[in-house]
Amino acid sequence: MFLVSVQSMQTGTITKYNAFKQIDLPDRTWPSRVIECAPTWASVDLRDGNQALAIPMTVDEKIEFFELLVALGFKEIEVGFPSASDTEFNFIRRLVDEQRIPDDVTVQVLVQAREHLIRRTFESLTGVKSAIIHLYNSTSPLQRRVTFNKSKDAIKEIAVEGAGLIKELVTSIPETKIRLQYSPESFSDTEVEYALEVCEAVMEIWQPSQINKIILNLPATVEVATPNVHADQIEWFCRNMKERDKAIISLHTHNDRGTGIAATELGLMAGADRVEGTLFGNGERTGNLDIVTVALNLYTQGIDPLLDLSNLASIRTSYERITGMNVHDRHPYAGDLVFTAFSGSHQDAIKKGMDIRAKESADEGALWQVPYLLIDPQDIGRDYEAIIRINSQSGKGGVAYILERDFGLDLPKPMHPQVGKVVNAAADQNSRELNSKEVYAIFKNAYVNISNPLEMSTIEREDPLKNGEVRVEAKIIYQGKQHTVTGQGNGPISAFVNALDQFGLKSFKLVDYRQHSIGSGSKTEAAAYIQIQKNDGGTHYGCGIDPNIEVAGLKALISAFNRMEKS
């Protein structure tokens, strides 16, 4: 039963929403540019990420998270809004007092353009070696009308007054290297001409230089348009500002439309230098930019992301424990299932790619070229264990991959369809995924050392005859009765086939025989695979496993015979 709301979505002509106004930039250049290096990364996990948690982090949890960010290689970390609460203030003080901030890391503090908040922020920075003071106020038409009920000039004056007070107070902490950052909040929904006007008014107060640049952070506080519009906004801004060489253009995208990552990548193509975001995209509403995804996107294009994400599983574990958030199974790179294929055609292609990759492994410069896998899981601390998993949708290649990877069984390719069909039927019957041990058990039960209705209890091999053939005498049990059979051939298997023929059981011909070793050292076993064809044309495979290679071959033949008898 579906519940229908009283107010439903509009249909036909939509009057409730307007399309966002496009940017007049007919000669845009960003579509033909490529990203060639990693941006400056600035983590805002401890501010934007923390405020989006149902239960915000404690000071101790924030310290642990800060140390995680440092270990990953972040050089700019927004540590909070020190004027917002005692918890925020005390966290920064502990970082300073306990000397937890490395010399090459700059902490960033956020503050609204309000006098008492700015003064309190400066109090929190006493003793900090290097800091970014991040000033912001909202500039969009919606915020101007609804939140503040102020004109453009009045909103700009808020920014100018805040910037002036910060400039005055910088001298109060001379031991701290101060860098200044300004954000016209809701830049994404602000007229680009007006956003530039406000930013340049702040620049006029702070007087940045080519050596001491201002950071102009242009946040998509709410995604209101497609990523190409965001790129147009960034390129227009960069091209029209007066002193571009004195500014670092920073991006801060949210994900309301689900395109925050795309908007950031296009924004970098449009001329931005810096990116603010969070690990795994935690943030208000639908989230902040996911820095992990963007960084690894760069990596897959041959660009060093300058962040150490080589143990992504451990990073995720720490993140989930500290924040109480969960990383989705399908989250890019970090999700449990992102390197897993259930589809049969995907599994087959992955297996072929992995087989080729194994042959090229000695060449460190070999390109990663495995179908359906954008990145080598081992590069980020994942393994190949979960790449292929088996359910009713899986194929022959996936089953063969599992048996080879986990149990050392290199099945002949013509055998793959038969085995895949048997395993898939079991998965379908159980209506669930099968783990690798279950896959092996199904294969073993159906193909390995099958001893009914025909079983061989003993076999003796005589010295080669004058013609080079061998003669065997075997005791067999067929349909519960014991018999002795003899035969000769160019090897034990052909001799045993001849023995069965003389006994009246040969209604087939031997088509294929292969064998390989399993394991190494004293525990080495042999696996043999035999394909036989019935006189009426049907083919059947059997597998034999035994420490003795000749016995393994004979067991494979008997297994194939028994499968034929039961068909």
Whether 35 is covered by a domain: the verdict is no
Which carries the bigger pLDDT value, residue 21 or residue 128? 128
Which carries the bigger pLDDT value, residue 389 or residue 544? 544
pLDDT for residue 1 is more than 80: no
Among residues of the chain, what percentage have pLDDT more than 70?
95
Tokens encoding 129:
């070696």
pLDDT for residue 360 is more than 80: no
Q: In terms of domains, do 385 and 498 share one?
A: no
CATH number at residue 417: 1.10.287.1400
- What does the pLDDT look like over 126-182, one tens digit per residue? 999 999 999 999 999 999 999 999 999 999 999 999 999 999 999 999 999 999 999
Q: pTM to 2 decimals?
A: 0.76
Which carries the bigger pLDDT value, residue 420 or residue 523? 420
Q: Please tell me the predicted confidence (pLDDT) of residue 528.
A: 95
Which carries the bigger pLDDT value, residue 358 or residue 279? 279
Q: In terms of domains, do 116 and 188 share one?
A: yes
Q: In terms of domains, do 112 and 177 share one?
A: yes
Dihedral of alpha carbons 146, 150, 153, 154, sign: negative
Whether 332 is covered by a domain: the verdict is no
> CB count, 10 Å around CB of 19?
9
Q: What is the mean pLDDT of residues 105-114?
A: 97
> CB count, 10 Å around CB of 21?
11
CATH number at residue 202: 3.20.20.70
Whether 30 is covered by a domain: the verdict is no
- What does the pLDDT look like over 59-80, one tens digit per residue? 999 999 999 999 999 999 999 9
| Distance of alpha carbon 406 from alpha carbon 497, whole angstroms | 32
For residue 404, give the 3-state DSSP assignment. helix
- What does the pLDDT look like over 209-235, one tens digit per residue? 999 999 999 999 999 999 999 999 999
Q: Please tell me the predicted confidence (pLDDT) of residue 444.
A: 96
pLDDT tier at 336 (50, 70, 90 boundaries)? confident
Contacts of 338 (CB under 8 A, 6+ apart): 329, 330, 331, 332
Q: Which domain holds residue 217?
A: 40-323
For the chain, how are helix, strand and coil distributed in percent, rounded to 5?
Answer: 40, 20, 35
pLDDT tier at 389 (50, 70, 90 boundaries)? low
| Distance of alpha carbon 519 from alpha carbon 506, whole angstroms | 34
Q: What distance separates the 2 farthest-apart alpha carbons in the chain?
A: 111
**Centroid of chain to Cα 199:** 37
Tally of domains in the chain? 3
Q: Please tell me the predicted confidence (pLDDT) of residue 322.
A: 96
Whether 50 is covered by a domain: the verdict is yes
Q: In terms of domains, do 465 and 431 share one?
A: no
Q: In terms of domains, do 354 and 223 share one?
A: no
Q: In terms of domains, do 212 and 355 share one?
A: no
Contacts of 510 (CB under 8 A, 6+ apart): 493, 494, 497, 530, 531, 532, 557
pLDDT tier at 275 (50, 70, 90 boundaries)? very high
pLDDT for residue 3 is more than 70: no
pLDDT tier at 366 (50, 70, 90 boundaries)? confident
Whether 90 is covered by a domain: the verdict is yes
Whether 144 is covered by a domain: the verdict is yes
CATH number at residue 500: 3.30.160.270
